[in-house]
């Protein structure tokens, strides 16, 4: 599991999406963890959600306290909810690297 609390997690993962060997390599989702996809991505949201399902994650339609990860086309845009809930943010490409 993630070893970074709150905003530090999001900040580390945002920079990790540019540097794959940093915090991103330590971040792990557990089967059943909810993930959200947002923004204009190269692949459709449906493709990302299907990949998440195959990896045993649960695509979620919006950000809630239960969401563990937000895959955002623009990870530098942080919403109040992601900050308040301490949700980690990565690019769709970084999410793909997490899947292997």
In this predicted structure, which of 10-14, 37-41, 80-84 has the lowest mean pLDDT? 10-14
Confirm whether 74 is domain-assigned: yes
Distance CA 38, CA 73 (A): 6
Residue 28 phi/psi, 5-degree rounding, is -135, 140
* Residue 67's CATH number: 3.40.50.10190
Confirm whether 1 is domain-assigned: no
When divided into structural domains, the chain yields a total of 1
Domain that holds residue 94: 6-99
The dihedral through the CA atoms of 68, 72, 75, 81 has a sign that is: negative
Q: Which residues contact 26 (CB under 8 A, 6 or more apart)?
A: 2, 3
Distance CA 30, CA 1 (A): 8
pTM of whole model > 0.95?
A: no
Residues 88-98 have pLDDT tens digits of 999 999 999 98
Confirm whether 95 is domain-assigned: yes
């Amino acid at each position: 599991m993630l070893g970074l609390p709150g905003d530090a997690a999001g900040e580390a993962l945002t920079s990790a999406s540019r540097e794959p060997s940093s915090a991103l390599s330590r971040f792990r989702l557990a089967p059943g963890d909810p993930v959200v996809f947002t923004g204009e991505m190269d692949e459709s949201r449906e493709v990302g959600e299907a990949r998440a399902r195959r990896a045993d994650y649960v695509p979620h339609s919006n950000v809630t306290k239960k969401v563990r990860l937000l895959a955002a086309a623009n990870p530098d845009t942080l919403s109040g909810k992601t900050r308040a809930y301490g949700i980690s943010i990565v690019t769709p490409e970084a999410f793909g690297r997490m899947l292997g």
